[in-house]
């Protein structure tokens, strides 16, 4: 079992405090309620799921972001509060009002987030009763507990920090994420929270977040399902005193650190995919456009036949070939297409590479991290997607999800 001692210790971000408690939402004595406090003056950006059946907390969070600067986030697990109609919206607003009443801010200054089972009424009474305990637990060092408190079917937290130096001043970025199934974010059940003590105005912050999400959380898939509850939040407290403006070298340095942090969190989600045993990089090169490369990458990454072959460590390269061939790429000429498993070329000149040997493929497939590299031979664009294998446990976990 993973413990805190097995994981990197996240660094506190001045201006951010986190409190975690047990509300008994689905399981007794289980960390399932997290409150995050943002110091006054913090700028916040967020992106959410594109699922049309978005959850009640997503609707309310979007509304509140238009009306006030967030001062608190409230996150519950065990119940997604999705597919719950007007009652779900009322429940999300009631949780916000309860936290606002305890902390002396407006209800609109609270953003709600939920993850868990879809279609069940949110147990508002349990959440409201537990909020004082979460508020009392608020601590700048609270990232550890919070990273456990946001999990559902995950086996371990995903959390890390990065520090950079700008004009002699240390700037910190710390983030945490959850998600193991229903993962193909379109901004999976995915939630991510990243904080920095840099001073970044809201428009630039949102642009930075969108760029980071597009390069990370929007490039992963466990099972091809986009959740109703996906959200990613970026908070900039400004407490370091370092003001960053878009277009400057300092901003680019910070942006690069943000993207790196989000990529590592995203890979952590895939590594911990439900029942996953392997991390698979699907790197497509030589396309006419990035979208074309992504279309091929996702077709391979979503193929149950490809994913089960990886689980079995079976170098059944024909499954990869077939997936590339059915990708929505107009007039694909297969002759220049080349495919590799790590360093081993398996396909060229329209078929199996004449130099390929089955034992070479078996050596690669036994690894726990593998790159499938596909060169389309029709352009200069490229894109990479991260996915995992499909195991027996994925079926078991999802078949027993509500039991």
Nearest to 351 by CA among 310, 313, 322: 322
Q: Which residues contact 252 (CB under 8 A, 6 or more apart)?
A: none
CB atoms within 10 A of CB 337: 23
CB atoms within 10 A of CB 272: 26
Longest Cα–Cα distance in the chain: 71
Strand runs (DSSP E) across 179-308, as ranges? 191-196, 199-200, 231-236, 243-244, 279-287
Provide the CA 67 distance to its chain's centre, in angstroms: 26
For 137-151, b where at least 16 C-beta lie within 10 A, e where not — what string?
bbbeebbbbbbbbbb
Residue 28 DSSP label: T
H or E stretch including 340? strand 338-341
Q: Which residues contact 352 (CB under 8 A, 6 or more apart)?
A: 317, 346
Rounded to whole angstroms, what are the CA distances from 177 to 130, 144, 281, 332, 396? 22, 12, 20, 38, 23
- Look-up: residue for tokens 């960390």? 31
Q: Which residues contact 66 (CB under 8 A, 6 or more apart)?
A: none
- Look-up: residue for tokens 């993962």? 183
Nearest to 16 by CA among 142, 186, 200, 162: 142
One of 172, 189, 228, 237 is an active-site residue; which one?
189
Q: For residue 401, list its beta bridge partners.
A: none
Strand ranges of the sheet holding 369-375, from the earlier edge strand across to the other edge: 351-352, 344-348, 338-341, 369-375, 279-287, 381-388
**Phi-psi map region of 336: left, alpha, beta (phi>0 left; psi -120 to 50 alpha):** alpha
Q: Is 44 a catalytic residue?
A: no
Tokens representing 260? Answer: 């790196």
Q: Residue 237: what are its φ and ψ, rounded to 5°?
A: -80, -25
Residue numbers annotated as active site = 189
């Amino acid at each position: 079992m993973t413990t805190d001692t097995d994981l990197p210790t996240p660094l506190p971000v001045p201006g951010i405090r986190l409190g975690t408690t047990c509300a008994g939402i689905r399981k007794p004595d289980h960390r399932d309620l997290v409150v995050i406090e943002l110091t006054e003056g913090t700028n916040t950006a967020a992106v959410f799921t594109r699922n049309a059946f978005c959850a009640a907390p997503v609707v309310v969070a979007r509304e509140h972001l238009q009306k006030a600067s967030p001062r608190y986030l409230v996150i519950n697990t065990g119940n997604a509060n999705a597919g719950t109609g007007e009652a779900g919206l009322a429940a999300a607003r009631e949780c916000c009002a309860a936290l606002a009443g305890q902390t002396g801010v407006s209800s609109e200054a609270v953003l709600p987030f939920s993850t868990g089972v879809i279609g069940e009424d949110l147990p508002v009474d349990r959440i409201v009763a537990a909020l004082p305990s979460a508020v009392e637990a608020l601590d700048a060092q609270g990232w550890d507990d919070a990273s456990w408190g946001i999990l559902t079917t995950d086996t371990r937290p995903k959390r890390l920090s990065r520090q950079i130096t700008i004009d002699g001043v240390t700037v910190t970025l710390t983030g945490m994420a959850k998600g193991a199934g229903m993962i193909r974010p379109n901004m999976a059940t995915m939630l991510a929270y990243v904080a920095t003590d840099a001073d970044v105005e809201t428009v630039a912050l949102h642009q930075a977040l969108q760029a980071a999400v597009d390069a990370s959380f929007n490039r992963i898939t466990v099972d091809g399902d986009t959740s109703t509850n996906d959200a990613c939040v970026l908070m900039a407290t400004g407490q370091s005193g370092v003001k960053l403006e878009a277009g400057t070298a300092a901003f680019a340095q910070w942006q690069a650190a943000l993207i790196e942090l989000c990529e590592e969190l995203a890979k952590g989600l895939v590594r911990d995919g439900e029942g996953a045993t392997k991390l698979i990089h699907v790197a497509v090169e030589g396309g006419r456009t990035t979208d074309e490369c992504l279309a091929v990458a996702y077709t391979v990454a979503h193929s149950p036949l490809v994913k089960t072959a990886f689980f079995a460590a079976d170098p059944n390269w024909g499954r990869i070939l077939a997936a590339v061939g059915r990708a929505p790429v107009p007039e694909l000429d297969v002759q220049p297409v080349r495919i590799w498993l790590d360093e081993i070329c398996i396909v060229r000149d329209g078929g199996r590479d004449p130099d390929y040997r089955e034992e070479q493929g078996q050596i690669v497939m036994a690894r726990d991290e593998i790159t499938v590299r596909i060169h389309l031979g029709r352009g200069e664009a490229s894109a990479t997607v991260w996915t995992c294998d499909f195991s027996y446990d994925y079926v078991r976990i999802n078949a027993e999800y509500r039991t």
